[in-house]
């Protein structure tokens, strides 16, 4: 007994499940990889160091200096008002 494919069977085989065609995805992935490697190669050919984000080191330095200055200010203010507690002193 042979079964003939109905139009519904053909439609079910081509349903889009939202993930796309696997061969298209593989081609797109390969294209992205090749474009990324080409971009990396062009950066390395310039013999320049890669650009670095300096936000974190600058923010850290400003924070350390700021908190150090605030601590020094409060210590001096308390000392001048005679309110600074130093252990071991009479």
pLDDT tens per residue, range 7-62: 555 555 566 666 666 677 778 888 888 888 777 666 556 667 778 889 999 999 99
List Cβ neighbours of 50 (8 Å cut-off, separation of 6 or more): 43
Which position has the higher pLDDT, 73 or 21?
73
Q: What is the pLDDT of residue 29?
A: 85
Q: What is the pLDDT of residue 42?
A: 62
Contact 84, 75 (CB under 8 A): yes
Q: How many CB atoms lie within 10 A of CB 53?
A: 7
Instruction: Give me 76's structure tokens.
Output: 């001096």
- The distance of Cα 25 from the centroid of its chain, to the nearest Å, equals 25
pTM: 0.43
């Amino acid at each position: 007994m042979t079964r003939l494919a109905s139009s519904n069977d053909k439609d079910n085989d081509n349903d889009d499940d939202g993930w796309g065609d696997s061969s298209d995805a593989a081609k797109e992935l390969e294209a992205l990889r090749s474009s990324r490697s080409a971009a990396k190669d062009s950066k390395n050919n310039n013999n320049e160091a890669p650009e670095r984000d300096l936000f974190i080191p600058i923010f850290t330095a400003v924070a350390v200096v700021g908190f150090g200055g605030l601590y020094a200010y409060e210590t001096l203010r308390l000392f001048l008002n005679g309110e600074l507690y130093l252990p071991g002193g009479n």
